[in-house]
Chains A and B, each alone.
Chain A
Amino acid sequence: MWLCNSSVGRKVVMSVTGVALILFLTFHACMNLVALFSKDGYNLVCEMLGANWYAVAATLALAALVVIHFIYAVILTLQNRKARGNNRYAVTSRPEKVEWASQNMFVLGVIVVLGLLLHLYNFWYNMMFAELFNAGMPYINEVEDAADGYGMIAYTFSQPVFTALYIVWFVAIWFHLTHGFWSAFQTLGWNGKIWFNRWKTIGNVYATVLMLIFVVVALKFAFCGGAC
C-alpha cells in the first residue's frame, strides 16, 4: 500500500490527517467563542457533545486521527534520523528562509500531545468520560454537572498554573500550524511558485486567528472568571 510504503504516501497521510485536525480545531474555536457570550449557549453545546452516540463516534474518529498523525510522525522522524546517517555535522547553520518551526515539528508535536493529555484530563475526563462511566458526575467537586462546560472552564482557568500551561500549549500549536498548513498542501501537490506565498499567507492568518480565539477565551476566564 503506497500510503505506508512510499515516502510521498506517508507524507500524504500526515497532510490529510493534519488538515482534518485543523478543521476540528476550527470547530473547537467556534465552540469556544460561544463561551465568551453565553453560559447557557455554551452548556447547550456541551450537552449535545456529551455521551450521545454521534459525539462518541466523532470522538473516536478524532482520536484515530491524532493517533495516526502521531504514529506516522514517529515513523517518519525515525526514518529521517536514520537517513541522516551516524555522523553529525560539526558546524551547522540555518539558512534565512528555513523557518524554525519547520525543523522542529516533532518537538512541537510532542508538546502539543502533552498539552492535549492535560486538556483531556481537565475537561473530557470530567465531561464525556464522566457521563459515560460515572453517571454524569465530574471527578472534581467544584463543578456539579458533567455538562456544565462553562463551570469547568471557569474552574480550570481560575488556577494560574493551568492558564500558563495552556498559553504555552497554544503557542506550540501556533508554531506547528504555521508550518503544517502550507506544508500539507505542498505535500498534496497543490502548490507552485505563486501558490506558495498564497498558502503561506492563508496559513499564517488562519493559524493566528484560530489560536487568538483560544487565547482570548482562556484569558477572559483567567481574569474575570465566569462572572463577566
Chain B
Amino acid sequence: MAKNISFTIKYWKQNGPKDAGHFEERHMKDIPDDTSFLEMLDILNEELIEEGKEPFVFDHDCREGICGMCSLYINGTPHGKTERGATTCQLYMRRFEDGCTITVEPWRSAAFPVIKDCMVDRSAFDKIQAAGGYISVRTGAPQDANAILIPKENADEAMDCATCIGCGACVAACKNGSAMLFVSSKVSQYALLPQGRPEAARRAKAMVAKMDELGFGNCTNTRACEAVCPKNESISNIARLNREFIKAKLAD
C-alpha cells in the first residue's frame, strides 16, 4: 500500500561556476511514496513554475539507470541511499521517512564545475575517454565472431567494467576528487580483451595523463567510490590500471 509522506527539501541553487551558491528550502506535502525521486523533483518544479519562480535545474535523461546523466548528492550520498547498483532515477520516496529533511547537492569537485544548480559539467570524463578509451580498428568486412577466442571469465569481467556509465558518483564520493574508478573501469574493459592489448600501454598512459591534467585528485584507496558506484565497479579495476600504468612506464 502506497502512503503519502511530507518532508522538507533543501536544494542547492547556483548560477554558474563562479557564483557562491546557496540552499533553498521548501516543504513538500503528501507525496506518494511510490513516486520516484526525480518525479518528486518534477512536482517541485511544477509548483515553482506555477508560482512564477525559477525551476530547480538537475540532470536527467533515460530515467532507467543506464545513461549516467542523473547526478544528485542526496543526504550525503551520491545517488542517495538506494539498493546497491542504482542511480538517482531509481531512488524512490519510500526510502524516506515522513517529516524528514532531504538535502540535495551537486557533485562537488573542481573538475566538475557547476553549470547551474545541481547540473555539473562532466565533459572532463569525455575528454579522458577520447584520450585513449577506444581501440583502433581497420574497417572492412566483419570477422567471424569466433576467430579470436576469449576466456569466459575475461569476457564477463570486461563486460562488468564496461557497465560503468560515467555518472561521476565515484568522483563525487571521493574525498580527493579522484576519477580513478571511472578511468580504471574504462582501461580495464579493453585491457581484459585481446583486441585491447595492442594499445594497452599507450591507453593507460594517455588516460591517466588526461585525468591528471583535468585536475582530478590522487587516489588514496579509501574505497568510497566502489561503495557508491551504481554499477558496482570494483577497486580491483584500480589495481589493474596501476599495474598497466606502471608496466607501461617501466617499459618506456
Number of interface residues of A (CB under 8 A): 45
Taken together as a complex, chains A and B put the C-alpha atoms of A37 and B101 apart, in Å, by 62
Give chain B nearest CB distance to A34 CB in angstroms: 35
Q: A96 touching B227 by the CB < 8 A rule?
A: yes
Name A193's contact: one of B209, B227, B236 (CB within 8 Å): B236
Chain B residue nearest to A199 (CB atoms) is B239
Taken together as a complex, chains A and B put the C-alpha atoms of A217 and B98 apart, in Å, by 56
Cβ contacts A2-14/B at 8 Å (1 or 0 each): 1001111111100
Contacts of B75 in A (CB 8 A): 91, 93
Chain B residue nearest to A86 (CB atoms) is B110
Q: B221 touching A84 by the CB < 8 A rule?
A: no
Contacts of B181 in A (CB 8 A): none
A38 within 8 A of B: no
B176 within 8 A of A: yes
Give chain A nearest CB distance to B104 CB in angstroms: 10
Q: A103 touching B249 by the CB < 8 A rule?
A: no
Q: A79 touching B218 by the CB < 8 A rule?
A: yes
A83 within 8 A of B: yes
Contacts of A2 in B (CB 8 A): 249
**Which of B23, B103, B220 is packed against the most chain A CB atoms within 10 Å?**
B220
Q: Which chain A residues in 57-77 approach chain B with CB under 8 Å?
A: 76
Interface segment among B51-59, B86-94, B240-248: the answer is B240-248
Contacts of B76 in A (CB 8 A): 89, 91-93
Q: B111 touching A83 by the CB < 8 A rule?
A: yes
Name A80's contact: one of B208, B218, B244, B246 (CB within 8 Å): B218
**Which of A85, A182, A190 is packed against the most chain B CB atoms within 10 Å?**
A85
Q: Which chain A residues in 97-130 approach chain B with CB under 8 Å?
A: 97-99, 102-103, 105
Contacts of B227 in A (CB 8 A): 95-98
Counting residue pairs across A and B whose Cβ atoms lie within 8 Å, the total is 144
Give chain A nearest CB distance to B122 CB in angstroms: 14
A22 within 8 A of B: no
Q: B108 touching A6 by the CB < 8 A rule?
A: no
Q: B23 touching A90 by the CB < 8 A rule?
A: yes
Give chain A nearest CB distance to B113 CB in angstroms: 8
**Which of A95, A179, A191 is packed against the most chain B CB atoms within 10 Å?**
A95
B212 within 8 A of A: yes
Taken together as a complex, chains A and B put the C-alpha atoms of A191 and B211 apart, in Å, by 22
Q: Which chain B residues in 217-242 approach chain A with CB under 8 Å?
A: 217-224, 226-228, 234-236, 238-242
Taken together as a complex, chains A and B put the C-alpha atoms of A96 and B228 apart, in Å, by 11
Contacts of B177 in A (CB 8 A): 80, 83-85
A155 within 8 A of B: no
Name A189's contact: one of B176, B228, B243 (CB within 8 Å): B243
Taken together as a complex, chains A and B put the C-alpha atoms of A5 and B177 apart, in Å, by 18
Q: List 27 A-B contacts (CB under 8 A).
A: A7-B208, A7-B219, A8-B208, A8-B246, A79-B217, A80-B217, A80-B218, A83-B176, A83-B177, A83-B178, A84-B108, A84-B110, A90-B103, A93-B77, A98-B224, A98-B227, A102-B220, A102-B223, A105-B220, A182-B221, A183-B220, A186-B239, A187-B221, A188-B242, A188-B246, A190-B239, A191-B236
- Chain B residues packing against A (C-beta within 8 Å): 10, 21, 23, 73, 75-77, 103, 105, 108-112, 173, 175-178, 180, 208-209, 211-212, 215-224, 226-228, 234-236, 238-247, 249
- Chain A residues packing against B (C-beta within 8 Å): 2, 5-12, 76, 79-80, 82-99, 102-103, 105, 179, 182-183, 186-193, 196
| List of 8 A-B pairs having minimum Cβ-Cβ separation, nearest first | A189-B243, A83-B217, A95-B227, A83-B177, A93-B76, A80-B176, A191-B239, A189-B242
Given A10-B218, A187-B221, 9 other A-B contacts at CB below 8 A? A6-B212, A7-B211, A76-B218, A83-B111, A91-B76, A103-B224, A189-B245, A191-B236, A196-B235
